[in-house]
Structure 1
Amino acid sequence: MRRDPEPLPSPDVRASGANGERDPYLTQLGERIRSLRAARGMSRKDLARGADVSERYLANLETGTGNASVLLLRQVAHALDVPLPVVLAEVDGLNGQQATEFAQLVQWLAQLPTGDLARVRDACRHALAPAESRDTRHRRVALIGLRGAGKSTLGRALAAAEDLPFVELNNVIEQEAGASLSEIHSLYGQAAYRRYEMRALERVLREHDSMVLATPGSLVSEPATFNLLLSRCYTVWVKTSPEEHMARVVAQGDMRPMQGNREAMTDLRRILQARMPLYARADMALDTSGQDANTSLQALRAQLSHVTA
């Protein structure tokens, strides 16, 4: 006799909202499990046996009346022979054939070497970009990277040299919110800031077919916003050493990184290490370590000339 991992409370306690309706996510989750099971020709009994749960528990899952634990869902995913993200995916309309195709795609991608995975990602990004985006992308140059890399200084210089508008996305975010960046974070929180960041990016993309754009260092951490930037702009990772990052920020009169934080440099290195795979998605990289502003500008213009030639 199989034992459920945890007691199964009544549906109205676990899976219903305030108005008594089933939770939409749990309903979609159940439909995905049922569709994946059907695609594999498995009966409910087969899946229950493979996941080591009772049929009653599985029935509640598939009808959206049971709120399963992550451990249980991992067992179900393993029995279905699909990655757990396929089961958990919160994608509207991901049912039936779509769920099966999504599962196959995730499994295939998971087997690829890191280098091939990056190539597939970039190929998809370019292939699926709107035609208008493909035509104008190289006329919008977006600089990404940590604070202190030289994005603003380099961006202004590049815009002046190429006779293009220069846009500092932080300024547009403040315009959208009607508040300073610090006020947005303190009054509204990180989630609100991310919404304003996305609105600001959408706005500058509507208003400028060509420009040089300096972006906040953390923009790459928000997938939807970063993917939009990558698809609509030619991106340049402006990078330098952690020591120069810190020195440049302090030289600008911003002492916040050092105040009351003896481990500021360690924290900066940790942030840079965590974001490197994201920054590396840029179309090109420019290392400004040990370079003055004019030398960095000439190097950037030389690299860009090969792209637009």
Structure 2
Amino acid sequence: MSGLAARSAEPTIPRPSRTIALVGLMGVGKSTVGRRLAQRMDLPFVDGDESIEAAARMTVSDIFSQLGEAEFRAGEARVMRRLLDGPPIVLATGGGAVLNSGTRDLMKERATTVWLRAELPIVAARVQRRDTRPLLRGKDPLTALSAMAEVRYPIYAEVADVTVDVGSGAHAQAVEAILEALMAHWAGGGAA
């Protein structure tokens, strides 16, 4: 089957009028999967952490070490507001962006929010590959992620319009699972 024939066999994806916001723990694949999802949906992709770094002209690690987590969270909330106020995009949020009640309210009002969820051992194995995550420095990743999950999972469940379990499979599988969940959500009357 030629590439054109394969492409035409894919279901038509409606262009959403709302941002598709991806939430979930660090290392679950929001940025990597989000880029591919945006491509499939013909939407711009924005990585929340990269937007925060651009606004602060500092890396996330530097913001944490020089200004502290509270200042990072304040900047994150400002960036999330700007992005959610804009035209529809696929947005990979930082894992803790939902901790801000204002950000949660904006997501409910202006986005279709997808919770990417994976088994904690899988996520822990992924985050160990790079030492760029300030909330994990000097800690056992599985223990730290478990503590984060305890606090954040109820919040993700509250804000998410759909939940997609992503495992250790290919990113393409995660994209297809997200698209399937979004189509079902929209078919069921969820705002597109």
The normalised TM-score by structure 1 is 0.51
Among 159, 165, 168, which residue is 2:38 paired with? 159
Query: Is residue 44–residue 89 contact of structure 2 (8 Å, CA) maintained in 1?
Result: yes
CA shift in 2, pair 1:138/1:277, >3 Å:
farther
Aligned 1:24-63 pairs, distance under 5 A = none
Runs of 5+ unmatched residues, structure 2: 1-14, 188-192
* CA deviation after TM superposition for structure 1 residue 161, in Å: 0.6
Partner amino acid, structure 1, of 2:93:
T
Deviation at 1:143, TM superposition (A): 0.3
Contact 2:28-2:123 within 8 A present in 1 as well: yes
Aligned length: 171
Mapping of 1:162-181 within 5 angstroms?
162-181=41-60
Q: Report if the CA contact (8 A) 1:159-1:166 is conserved.
A: yes
| Residue in 2 that maps onto 1:12 | none
SS in 1 for 2:25: coil
Structure 1: tracts of 5 or more residues without a match: 1-135
Amino acid at match of 2:20: V
Counterpart residue number, 2:150: 273
> Which piece of structure 1 moves more, 183-192 or 148-157?
183-192
Tell me the C-alpha RMSD between the 2 structures.
Answer: 2.2
SS state of the match for residue 158, structure 1?
Answer: helix
- Structure 2 matches for 1:48-127, cutoff 5 A? none
Shift of 1:259: 6.2
Q: Secondary structure at the match of 1:280?
A: helix
Q: Percent identity between the aligned chains?
A: 36
Distance 1:180 1:155, change over 3 A: same
Residue in 2 that maps onto 1:288: 166
Equivalent-residue separation in structure 2 for 1:264 and 1:290 (angstroms): 17
Residue deviations 1:207-248 (CA, integer Å, cap 9, x gap)? 3x2110000001121222222222211101001011111111
After superposition, the Cα gap between the structure-2 partners of 1:225 and 1:255, relative to the gap in structure 1 and judged at 3 Å, is: closer
Q: Within 2, Cα distance between the matches of 1:259 and 1:224?
A: 28
Corresponding residue number in structure 2 for 1:231 = 109
CA apart distance, 1:307: 2.8
* Structure 1 residue runs of 4 or more that deviate by more than 4 Å after TM superposition: 255-260
* Higher RCO (C-alpha 8 Å, min separation 6): 2
Q: In structure 1, what is the equivalent of residue 29 of structure 2?
A: 150
Instruction: Please say if residues 31 and 92 of structure 2, whose CA atoms lie closer than 8 Å, have aligned partners that are also in contact.
Output: yes
- Taking structure 1 as reference, are residues 203 and 240 closer, same or farther at Cα in structure 2, changes over 3 Å only? same
Q: How does 1:243-258 map to 2 (within 5 A)?
A: 243-251=121-129, 253-254=130-131
Partner of 1:189: 68
Which is higher, the Rg of structure 1 or of structure 2? 1
| TM-score in terms of structure 2 length | 0.80
Distance 2:55 2:137 in 1: 30
Amino acid at match of 2:19: R
Aligned partner of 2:182 in structure 1 is: 304
